[in-house]
Amino acid sequence: MPFLVLIAIYAARIMRSPLDTRLKKSHVGPLTVAALFVVLSLAWDWLRPDGIGTVYFLGEFCGVSALYLMTWALVLATRLRWLEQWFGGLDRMYRCHKNYALWSILLLVPHSVFADTEAGRTVRESPQAVGLGRALGLATALGLLVLVLVSLARVGRILRLPHERWLVVHRLIGLLVVSSLVHGWVLDHIIGRSSVLKIVYVVMGVVGTAAYAYDELVMRRRVPRADYTVHAVKRPAPDIVDLTLAPAGHAPLQVKGGQFVYLRVGGHRAWREHPLSVAGVQHDGCVRLTVRAVGRGTRRLYADLREGALATLSGPYGMFDHTVGGQRQIWIAGGIGIAPFLGWITHEDAEALPSADLFYCTSTATDAPFLPELTEAARRHPALRLHSVYSRRQGRLTVDKILAATGPLTPDTHVFLCGPASMVENLTIALRGRGISRHHLHAEHFAFR
């Protein structure tokens, strides 16, 4: 119960804070997950059947908790657009999806150790039930462990697993959750001896299974999408392609700079897709995307994409939007992370830009192909001040360098970051150490895997 009180106090503080309504709503999702977990733990404790040993009870509760988190992981994988506002964007939904999956794996360790004890059991399972339950439990644990490991960035780089194959492997997560449901139904005596807990368990199973079925059978047909034609292709750098897509139908996507879309080259029948930040939208509906060739798919896109090719865009997604901040902002872009900032600057409402210092961080000047465009934008918008940072010559961007260029940070300063994960993480920690509220730090986490 004290945890529920703490969650309520934190939620009240968020609601009373002078934040944009969209930022307040983005806390609702994670707080809901935490609050329901507390309710689940209280229900399991209050409705605990007599004669159940403590060790066995803790082991089974760890298993149920793992199932609860995996259910949320499946729900967040559905790309339901109405969920974005409650979690802060699809990129944050996917981060929660991965974290919940990782935590569920950790919970399976004490579950495997403690739930296998005989203490606290009042009945003996049949040998067939024990064999089935343990086989499903072992398969689920090993399968989830493999899926989580290949989803970690470092492991993915070591294995060199192509993104397309990773997607195929990742789609097995729903089957593993179904397997864990059957495992718990067969072996968990706490569920078997409490009607209420059995109902709760079934509800979690139904929600998780429904989310998985939606993801596999419905999502690709229901997600907003539109046909486009590749109108222009530029290659401003040896590893960057800058493309413009013209609407091929009468209903282009309602996209704005800073969001991201999923691109499929080859029309509706193409299977491979990539999430890409929108670097600009023209008044005629043309969409600009900038792509860095870092993986097998994007390297092929860089090498083979030609004008006139058919393409499909789905979305848009994301809540990386400078309008949630105030009139004093700092924008930090690392490499291809300049894309959403280009989208803001070139938007038709760019006259409403706030006072912002834009730091464009690259290794060298030759790695900054968009610098001339940004320089011209800064000339047109006096409120936009451009700072080029070349790490090989000047070193990496630090808070001290930011303060030297912008002056002291004020309490109303909002900072927007987009770039390599290590850059975003390091600068976020450093800025918080200098007094910037975490509610004033906004990052686009474009590396979903």
**What pLDDT does residue 159 have?**
59
Look at residue 22 and tell me whether its pLDDT is greater than 90. Answer: no
- Contacting residues for 250 by C-beta, under 8 A, at least 6 apart: none
Instruction: Give the pLDDT confidence of 86-115 residue by residue, as tens digits.
Output: 999 888 898 898 889 888 888 888 887 776
**What pLDDT does residue 449 have?**
44
pLDDT band at 280 (very low <50, low <70, confident <90, very high): confident
CB 328 within 8 A of CB 410: yes
Superfamily of domain 225-317: Translation factors (2.40.30.10)
- Contacting residues for 425 by C-beta, under 8 A, at least 6 apart: none
DSSP-based three-state secondary structure for 291: strand
Look at residue 1 and tell me whether its pLDDT is greater than 70. Answer: no
Look at residue 120 and tell me whether its pLDDT is greater than 50. Answer: no
CB 408 within 8 A of CB 426: no
pLDDT band at 122 (very low <50, low <70, confident <90, very high): very low
Place of tokens 């789609």: 171
DSSP-based three-state secondary structure for 83: helix
- Contacting residues for 169 by C-beta, under 8 A, at least 6 apart: 146, 147, 150, 161
**What pLDDT does residue 80 have?**
87
- Contacting residues for 150 by C-beta, under 8 A, at least 6 apart: 156, 159, 161, 166, 169, 170
- Does domain 2-222 fall under CATH 1.10.600? My reply is no
Rounded Cα–Cα distance for residues 10 and 25 (Å):
13
Instruction: Give the pLDDT confidence of 392-432 residue by residue, as tens digits.
Output: 888 899 999 999 998 888 888 999 999 888 899 999 999 99
Question: What are the backbone angles phi and psi of residue 31, rounded to the nearest 5°?
Answer: -65, -35
CB 408 within 8 A of CB 382: no
Domain boundaries, the chain: 2-222, 225-317, 323-444
Tell me what the mean pLDDT of segment 243-272 comes to: 79
Out of 30-44, 66-80, 215-229, least confident range? 215-229
Per-residue DSSP letter, 165: H
Characterize 80-115 residue by residue with b for buried, 16 or more Cβ atoms within 10 angstroms of its Cβ, and e for exposed: beeebeebbbbbbbbbbbbebbbbbbebbebbbebb
Rounded Cα–Cα distance for residues 317 and 196 (Å):
38
**What pLDDT does residue 414 have?**
94
Rounded Cα–Cα distance for residues 290 and 275 (Å):
11
Rounded Cα–Cα distance for residues 224 and 253 (Å):
8
Kindly report the CATH number that applies to the domain delimited by 323-444. 3.40.50.80
Q: 0.85 cut: is pTM over it? A: no
Helices (H), 223-288: none
Q: Which two tokens stand for residue 142?
A: 């090993």
Rounded Cα–Cα distance for residues 428 and 430 (Å):
5
